[in-house]
Amino acid sequence: MTKDSTRIISLIPSGTEILAALGLTKAIVGRSHECDFPPEILNLPVCTQARLNSNADSGEIHNQVNDLLQSALSIYQIKTDIFEQLQPTHIITQDQCDVCAVSFGEVENALKSLTNSSPQVISLQPDVLKDVWNDIKRVAQTFNVDSEPLLENLQHRIQIIDDKTQSLSTVNIPTVGCIEWTQPLMSASNWIPELVNYAGGKALFSSIGKPSQQFGWETFVEGNPDIIIFMPCGFDLNRTRTDAQLLTQKPEWMQLRAVKNDRVYITDGNSYFNRPGPRLVDSLEILAEIIHTEIFEYGYQGKAWEQLTVNS
C-alpha cells in the first residue's frame, strides 16, 4: 500500500495529534467529534457522536455516564454510514477508557457492518509517559515514517525542565492537587503525577499509571495542597473556570493553604492534560510555569492556564 492510498480514520484526539506530528495529516480522512487539533482537520467528516449532553454540569454528566455504562451502552457511537463512505484502510482508536472516547467494543461492532473494506485497527492504551512514546513509535512504524525527530524533540524539552527542577531543594517542592473532575471529586492520575514530578512538584491524591480515582472532600482538605490545579476532562479554560466554582463555595475552601497563598489555577484540560499525545510536553511546560513561575516562562498563561482569583 502506498502512502497516497492510505486512508485513516482517527477516533481519538490524541491519535489525530500523533498522526499530525508525524506528518500524516493528509492521510486522515475522518475524525471523531472531539478531534479539533490541528486546525487543518476540522473540515474532515465527523464519524462519532456522544450519547450524552456535554453541556450539562459535571454532576449531571457523571450521572449520564453511569446510566449509559450500567445499561451496557457506549457513551459514544460510531456513524457507520460515514465509515462505509470513507472506506478507511486504518482506524486509530483506544482501549483505555470508555469515558474518554469511543470504546473498543463499539469499534469492533462498527467494523462488522462494513461491506467493502477491512481496515487495520491501531488501538492506543497509554497509562504512563513511556506508553505514549511507544504509541508514537508504533503509529510511525505502521505508516513507515520516522518517529525519531519527533521523539528527540519531545525528550529534549522534558530534559530542559527536568535539569532545572532536579536542582531544587526539597523545601522548594510544593505539594500539588490536580483535579480532573469536581462532581464527584476526582484526582488526575495516569501520566499527570509524572508531569507534576518533572515540573518540580509532588502530586497528591494520585499514583503514576493508575486510573483517576474518586476521593472525598475531607481527604482533600486533610491533604491541604500547596497548589491546586483544575484540569477537568473535556473542559476548556472557560468551562473550567465555571466548574471550579463548585468547590470554591465549600465552607472549608478559604482555609486551604493554596487558597490563602493565591496558588489556585485553572487550565485547558481538554486541549492538553487529557490527551496522551505530543502535547503532553506542552502540558509539562504549563505545569512548570504554574508551579515554578520564578524559573519558567513559556507564554501559556492566559491561553492554556490562568490563576483563579479566590481570595477577594
Query: Is the CB of residue 54 less than 8 Å from the CB of residue 83?
Result: no
Position 109 scores a pLDDT of 72
Task: Tell me: pLDDT of 265 over 90.
Answer: yes
Number of domains in the chain: 2
Confidence bin at 246 (pLDDT 50/70/90): confident
Q: Taking residues 254-271, what's their average pLDDT?
A: 95
Confidence bin at 25 (pLDDT 50/70/90): very high
Give 155-206 pLDDT, tens digit per residue. Answer: 999 999 999 999 887 778 999 999 998 888 999 999 999 999 999 999 999 8
Q: Which three cell numbers stand for residue 225?
A: 495542597
Domain identity same for 46 and 186: no
Task: Tell me: pLDDT of 10 over 50.
Answer: yes
Cβ of 144: how many Cβ atoms within 10 Å?
9
| CA–CA separation, 302 and 307 (whole Å) | 9
Domain identity same for 76 and 202: no
Confirm whether 312 is domain-assigned.
Answer: no
Give the pTM.
Answer: 0.89
- Least Cα distance to 29 among 85, 70, 73, 77 occurs for 85
Give 117-141 pLDDT, tens digit per residue. Answer: 788 999 898 999 999 999 999 999 9
Query: What is each CA distance from 212 to 29, 144, 169, 217, 310, in whole angstroms?
Result: 32, 34, 29, 15, 26
CA 94, 99, 102, 103: dihedral to nearest 10 degrees?
A: 70
Going by their DSSP bridges, the two strands 227-230 and 202-203 should be labelled as unpaired
Confirm whether 39 is domain-assigned.
Answer: yes
| CA–CA separation, 161 and 153 (whole Å) | 13
Position 69 scores a pLDDT of 46
Task: Tell me: pLDDT of 63 over 60.
Answer: no
Question: Domain range spanning residue 31?
Answer: 3-125
| CA–CA separation, 224 and 204 (whole Å) | 9
Q: Which three cell numbers stand for residue 170?
A: 526539597
Confidence bin at 312 (pLDDT 50/70/90): very low
State the CATH number of the domain containing residue 174: 3.40.50.1980
Domain identity same for 216 and 265: yes
Domain identity same for 191 and 271: yes
Domain identity same for 171 and 268: yes
Confirm whether 33 is domain-assigned.
Answer: yes
Domain identity same for 56 and 20: yes
Lowest-confidence region among 30-34, 53-57, 292-296:
53-57
Domain identity same for 235 and 184: yes
The dihedral region occupied by 73, where left means phi > 0, alpha psi between -120 and 50, and beta the remainder, is beta
| Contacts of the segment 284-287: beta carbons below 8 A, 24+ positions apart | 284/157, 284/158, 284/161, 284/195, 284/198, 284/199, 285/157, 285/161, 287/195, 287/196, 287/198, 287/199, 287/201, 287/229
What is the sign of the dihedral through the CA atoms of 300, 135, 187 and 198?
A: negative
Position 171 scores a pLDDT of 74
Confirm whether 291 is domain-assigned.
Answer: yes
Confirm whether 261 is domain-assigned.
Answer: yes
Domain identity same for 191 and 239: yes
